[in-house]
Amino acid sequence: MWKHAIITGGSSGIGKEIAKLLAGEGSNISIIARNSRKLEAARVEITANVVNPKQKIITCSINVANRLEVENGIRQVIKEVGVPDLLITAAGISYPGYFRKLPIEIFEETMAVNYFGSLYCVRKVLPIMEQEKKGQIVMISSGAGLIGIYGYTPYCPSKFAIRGLAESLRGELKLYGISVSVVYPADTNTPQLEEENKTKPLETKNITASSGLWDARDLAVKILQGVRKKSFVIAPGIEMTLLDKFHSLLAPIIQWYMDLIVIKTLKKGYNATGNSEVRSQK
């Protein structure tokens, strides 16, 4: 059991499901997200799973893309709950679309939330974990952090960055008794996925449909299994396991397969909005 888990993105999706499972194991939990209303609703759900009336389930409404807010927020939850021995950075956004049509602000915001939002949290808790000479840091990347995917030009680089940070930190923090894990989930049935589907190109939908859809709770169970084992890589499901182990070798085949799906989609007569209109291919 972890004494105090800090979870960003804890108001919905994977983060919330992990929090509910940890509450059922007796952990104190701080969930971090932007929307205070969603945070309070999540707190009620999570609290319903506690096994000890003395457990603390608290919320912190901040924007993880803002370094000062992160530093102040984490300082406050530590003051209220105590030293964290588990940090899970699950906060993230995704706004798919065609590269040439997406405003530059989308790229900036995606990197700010997904990458810097994790970096700021790690930087803040690390000195405390170093003093304790223990702790676990878990960063949620994505299958899109292993291979670039059509339509995900803002998202993939941010998740590649998470992977690079985790790989770079692993050996360094091991010397201080701190373990690092990086998670590569496939598509998961969450509110974020619902938002993605509003702007996702049809070609991208056809590509990602081939990998199936995970339930958020099932994924949370798999993630915590890997965290307990202190596994560096947590790649739930056979598809993500193979992609993690062989992505460099498989990349040409996967890229050929994705290109084939894109061509087939275009031949069916769809343009970027999904209306019938074949675009010329030169």
pLDDT tens across 125-174, in order? 999 999 999 999 999 999 999 989 999 999 999 999 999 999 999 988 98
pLDDT at 273: 46
Tell whether 269 is covered by a domain: no
Clarify whether 282 is annotated catalytic.
Answer: no
* pLDDT for res 29: 98
- The residue range of the domain holding 26 is 4-248
Per the structure, the count of domains in the chain is 1
Cite the DSSP H helix spans in the chain. 13-23, 36-47, 67-81, 104-111, 117-132, 155-174, 191-199, 202-208, 216-228, 237-267
Rounded distance, CA 155 to CA 140, Å?
A: 13
- Please indicate, yes or no, if residue 135 is contained in any of the structural domains: yes
Task: Give a yes or no: residue 281 inside a domain.
Answer: no
Residue 207 maps to a domain: yes
Question: Among 141, 158, 179, 181, which one carries the catalytic annotation?
Answer: 141
In this predicted model, what pLDDT tens digit does every residue of 17-39 receive, in sequence order?
A: 999 999 999 999 999 999 999 99
205 in a domain, yes or no? Answer: yes
What is the reported pLDDT for 272? 46
Catalytic residue among 16, 20, 38, 159: 159
Question: Catalytic: 16?
Answer: no
Residue 231 known to be catalytic: no
Query: Backbone dihedral region of 3: left (phi > 0), alpha (psi from -120 to 50 degrees) or beta?
Result: alpha
Residue 113 lies in a domain: yes
- CB-based contacts of 102: which residues, under 8 Å, 6+ apart? 95, 153, 154
What pLDDT, on a 0 to 100 scale, did the predictor assign at position 247? 67
Q: What's 34's domain CATH number? A: 3.40.50.720
Structural contact between residues 188 and 94, judged by C-beta atoms closer than 8 angstroms: no
- Which of 155, 179, 222, 270 is labelled catalytic? 155
What's the pLDDT score for residue 277? 39
Domain assignment present for residue 24? The answer is yes
Q: Which residues of the chain have pLDDT under 50?
A: 271-282
pTM of the model: 0.87
